[in-house]
Structure 1
Amino acid sequence: MTVVLGPNRYGKAETRLVRVARDGGVHHLKDLSVSTALSGDMEAVHLTGDNAAVLPTDTQKNTVYALARSRGVDQIEDFALALARHFVDSQPTIHHARVEIEEYSWERVPPAAGDPGRRRHSFVRAGTEVRTCLVHHDASGRTTVVSGLKDLTVLNSTGSEFHGFIRDAYTTLAPTTERILATAVTARWRHLSPDAGPVGFAESYAEARRRLLEAFAGTHSLSLQQTLFAMGRAVLAARPEICEVRLELPNKHHFLVDLEPFGLDNPDEVYFAADRPYGLIEGAVLTEDAPGAGFAWE
């Protein structure tokens, strides 16, 4: 039996970076978690322990901080591109870089009466939603940029049905023409080009997010799968710079509580929100001519 080394990569996971840009009396805050992974001529280190081709993971961490200072941090996609290109372009043994970033949003605290200055440098964490990006760059010049978000929790209190499904000996779920539909959206979308051009990643992200929310709210849903497709289609129809959208939608079930033992009716008003088990709906929506359709993003 012959044993060989398979695909491999190594890196620094979840480097926490907070950068404060002090624009005069107004401060701007960026709060990120940055994960880097590199691959290339790594046979020797695995087979013999020879580290000559290895850029230490500690160096990768330090590079995140150094580039944050030297070039600043605006859109996370641009920062991830700069990191990935730096690793590949500066090290001949590194052939491929993967950079994943999560951004945690903060909002300014409204000023107290008589203290307007605090408005410019006091912040409060803005909910649980997280902005994400994933960049791949290799020595051949091939680059992919995937933007996205996760933990965007949404709910429709009406306008959702579920019926006509398969019924067998183990089916107990009753069909319904009225239910709460709730989910925590994880959405990722691939850009046709790694360079956002005049549109910019900020505008692209804001508009993609808006289209996702509009489609969720505006779709009379017969299934969460139908809603998933409507959300992806809405982004692609509005954003020509995006060629593929992938969505993960856990079904956050809400069950009507039986109040009859207490002599009360329940006209679709009182629900129990179950956290598990839950249905998980996943799918990709893409343009017919999307390059590299179906390729792995990880």
Structure 2
Amino acid sequence: MTVRLGANRYGKAETRLVHVVRDGPVHHLKDVNVSISLSGDMEAVHLTGDNAAVLPTDTQKNTVYAFARRHGVGEIEEFALRLAGHFTATQPTIQHARVEIEEYGWNRAGPHSFVRAGGEVRTCVVHHDRDGRRTVVSGLTDLVVLNTTGSEFHGYLVDEYTTLPPATDRVLATAVAARWRHAGDETPSYATSYEEVRGALLDAFAGTHSLSLQQTLYAMGERALATSPGICEIRLSLPNRHHFAVDLSPFGLDNDNEVFYAADRPYGLIEGGVLREDAPDAGFAWE
């Protein structure tokens, strides 16, 4: 039997970093989770255990902390680009670096006091090759939204196992996970584009009379691309957080779509992408 080494990568996952900028009596806080994956000339370490090409994952962790001290964090996309570019530029065996960052929000409660925000988590993934090619993907997770009306679902396939009744007025709820790819070589204002895309997703969700969650997904992606010209593609993952009307007839009560049971599982999962006609190829998988 003949075998060979397949695609591989290694790195330091989930390095937690809290960075405080002390601007006199007013402090600024960044709370992030950094994961690094490196790939390149790694055949020897897998086949013979020769570690000469391996940059230790502990070194990668230390680099995160050192870069925060030397350069600050700033926008997470910029921090990820600095880290990824460093690894491909300084290590000849590293051909490709992937840096993923999650940012946890804090709301200011005073000059140096903060309250953890309960909303979505901001994310980014950066890919950087030795030849300078790079891709920046921004995103968010756990943006929980709900419409109490304006959603239908009917006209679907029916077979001998179908029990779901058609719905002409239902609750539509989801926890949005979205990733969008920036186009071109110009460095955008990542903070501005984040607010643009986030606002577009919310506007489209609230303003679309939905006949299916798939329709809503497309409307959200289309609105994001129309609102933020610097992005060329967006991918969405929308779990359908089902809300079922409770049967109150045993208690002599009616229920005109007022009392619901919120089921956590199983759930429908709708995923898809929307991209511009002229969107450039990313060159590699986003993941």
Tell me, what secondary structure is at the counterpart of 1:243? strand
CA offset digits 1:160-192 (Å, max 9, x no partner):
000000111000000011000000000000000
Deviation, structure 1 residue 284: 0.4
Off by >6 Å, runs of 4+ in structure 1? none
Q: Distance in 2 between matches of 1:196 and 1:278?
A: 39
Deviation, structure 1 residue 295: 5.0
Tell me, what secondary structure is at the counterpart of 2:11? strand
Q: Does 1:172 align with 2:166?
A: no
Q: Distance in 2 between matches of 1:294 and 1:145?
A: 12
Deviation, structure 1 residue 193: 2.9
Q: Is the 8 A contact 1:15 1:61 kept in 2?
A: yes
Q: Is the 8 A contact 1:146 1:191 kept in 2?
A: yes
Equivalent position amino acid for 1:257 in 2: V
Which of residues 252, 258, 263 in structure 2 aligns to 1:269?
Answer: 258
Percent identity of the aligned residues?
74
Q: Distance in 1 between matches of 2:227 and 2:176?
A: 19
Partner of 1:148: 139
Partner of 2:41: 41
Q: Does 1:248 align with 2:223?
A: no
What stretches of structure 1 of length at least 5 have no aligned partner?
110-118
TM-score, length basis structure 1: 0.95
Q: Distance in 2 between matches of 1:222 and 1:259?
A: 27
What stretches of structure 2 of length at least 5 have no aligned partner?
none
Deviation, structure 1 residue 194: 5.2
Q: Does 1:135 align with 2:126?
A: yes
Deviation, structure 1 residue 195: 4.0
User: What count of residue pairs does the alignment treat as equivalent?
Assistant: 287
Q: Is the 8 A contact 1:145 1:194 kept in 2?
A: no
Q: Is the 8 A contact 2:10 2:38 kept in 1?
A: yes
Q: Is the 8 A contact 1:144 1:194 kept in 2?
A: no
Equivalent position amino acid for 2:255 in 1: N
Q: Distance in 2 between matches of 1:239 and 1:61?
A: 34
Q: Is the 8 A contact 1:26 1:120 kept in 2?
A: yes
CA offset digits 1:68-103 (Å, max 9, x no partner):
000001100000000000000011111100000000
TM-score, length basis structure 2: 0.98
CA offset digits 1:104-142 (Å, max 9, x no partner):
000012xxxxxxxxx111111110410000000011211
Which of residues 116, 137, 152 in structure 2 aligns to 1:161?
Answer: 152
Question: What is the RMSD computed on CA atoms of the aligned residues?
Answer: 1.0
